[in-house]
Structure 1
Amino acid sequence: MSERLSTGVPEIDREIGGGIDPGSIVLVLAPPASQSEALLHATMRERRTRYVTTRRNENAVSETLGKVLDGGAPGYSVKYAGLDEPLANVREAIALVEEEAGIVVDTVDPLERTGDPDSYVTFLNELKDALISTGSVGVLHAATSAERSPLRDVTESFGDLVLDVAVQRNGSQVEHVLSVPKFRAHDLPGETIKLELSSEVQVDTSRDIA
């Protein structure tokens, strides 16, 4: 059995039995108005990463990554997928993934809305093949909202590990709660995980979640 790879958050690694398998697709589901990007940044601190952005341009993303990573990542590159042919551009980026590296797609929603389900399935299969052949990890960031994206079911079916982030407001406090509804070929953690998300990810171990 291959050695597990870290999510970048030791407490999450422990909850899922030691980390994620090489070749995995990790799907991060979260509301747009949340701090879920911190989970993407955590994975980037573990391995060289190709970051593909589908909405914010390269300058905006690079500025953010420069602040939050601050030299604490092995190396990364940023590519903007553009508005005209985002799916084709993301597929090009996947073809360049390095050995034992990472690829982040933030967010996957525009790709789910291209109106071309066959090409989208082809993209996900190409992503999976590239990750397996290089021993890498792919992270798909997907927004949860009242209007569910077309093809979201397809995205979820390809996810090997699904991290579902919910935002709870308790008075003046904003809390992020992580559940793991899917972990292909592995046992699920028995409890939800309360996250403290800022520029980094911390876990509240008080276990007071109802």
Structure 2
Amino acid sequence: MDRLATGIPVLDRVLDGGLPPGSVVVLKADAASQSELFINTFCGVRETQYVTTVRSTTTVERGIERSDAVDTESVTVHAAHDEEAIERTAAVVSELDTESTLIVDSVEPLERTDAETYRRFIDDLMTRVIDAEAIAILHAVRSEHDPENRVLTEQMADLVFDLRSRVTGTDVEHRLIVPKFRGGVIPEKPLKLKLGESVTVDTSRDIA
């Protein structure tokens, strides 16, 4: 099967070339992490529809413009901030182009709708992504009180990327775990990454 690149070469390698077309991916990360770097990198690969449910469109566009890896003309940013956020996002989903990328940043406001409404949204999202052979990235920020529908988000997703950061001495370590890959092979070990201006492999050795 042909794969769609993520824009992160090390991740593409462990995923046997990238993401299968039609995949819905959950990116889990702490609010204080560098997950925005991943999101911006995903934008740089192909035409992208970016739905922001928290930040303003101006803030998102400025962040994307600062990323050298992104052709800003290929990214369209949509706002979905109010009580109609899930309907606004669904409208973007319905117009998703073939082999494009959809980013929802972040998914929490949608998860806080009632369970049946959210289940229908996720089901329609998956159907459209499959039909368009596209990719959807749902940015799921961890908190002490995740929405009840977070379980459904992860259950329905084809892949889960779990970004974790920790301080060790004077360094900050970043590791990406792939605990779920429906129809694919899960990497045996976490990916140790360096998050600077881009996402690269951290080649430093672990010292116990």
Q: What's the TM-score bracket when you normalise by the shorter of the two chains? A: over 0.9
1:199 Cα offset (Å) = 3.3
Q: Choose 175-184 or 165-174, whichever is displaced more.
A: 165-174
**Cα distance change of structure 1 residues 106 and 71 upon mapping to structure 2, 3 Å threshold:** closer
Cα displacement string for residues 93-150 of structure 1 (whole angstroms, at most 9, x for unaligned residues): 1111111100000000111112x11111111111111111111100000011222222
TM-score, with length taken from structure 1: 0.93
- Determine the structure 1 residue equivalent to 2:173: 175
- Determine the structure 1 residue equivalent to 2:28: 29
User: How many residue pairs get matched?
Assistant: 208
Percent identity for Structure 1 against Structure 2 = 38
- Determine the structure 2 residue equivalent to 1:96: 95
3-state SS in 2 of match to 1:90: helix
**Cα distance change of structure 1 residues 60 and 123 upon mapping to structure 2, 3 Å threshold:** same
- Determine the structure 2 residue equivalent to 1:64: 63
Tell me the distance in 1 between the aligned counterparts of 2:115 and 2:132.
26
Tell me the distance in 2 between the aligned counterparts of 1:196 and 1:98.
32
What amino acid does structure 1 have at the position aligned with 2:161? L
Tell me the distance in 1 between the aligned counterparts of 2:59 and 2:146.
26
Aligned-residue RMSD, C-alpha: 1.6
Tell me the distance in 2 between the aligned counterparts of 1:71 and 1:44.
6
- 182, 185, 204: which one pairs with 2:183? 185
Cα displacement string for residues 25-71 of structure 1 (whole angstroms, at most 9, x for unaligned residues): 01100000000111111211111000000000111111111111465
Where has structure 1 moved over 3 Å in runs of 4 or more?
69-74
TM-score, with length taken from structure 2: 0.94
- Determine the structure 2 residue equivalent to 1:135: 133
Unaligned runs of 5+ in 1: none
Tell me the distance in 2 between the aligned counterparts of 1:159 and 1:70.
26
3-state SS in 2 of match to 1:127: helix
- Determine the structure 1 residue equivalent to 2:80: 81
**Cα distance change of structure 1 residues 70 and 162 upon mapping to structure 2, 3 Å threshold:** closer
3-state SS in 1 of match to 2:127: helix
Cα displacement string for residues 181-204 of structure 1 (whole angstroms, at most 9, x for unaligned residues): 000011111111111113321121
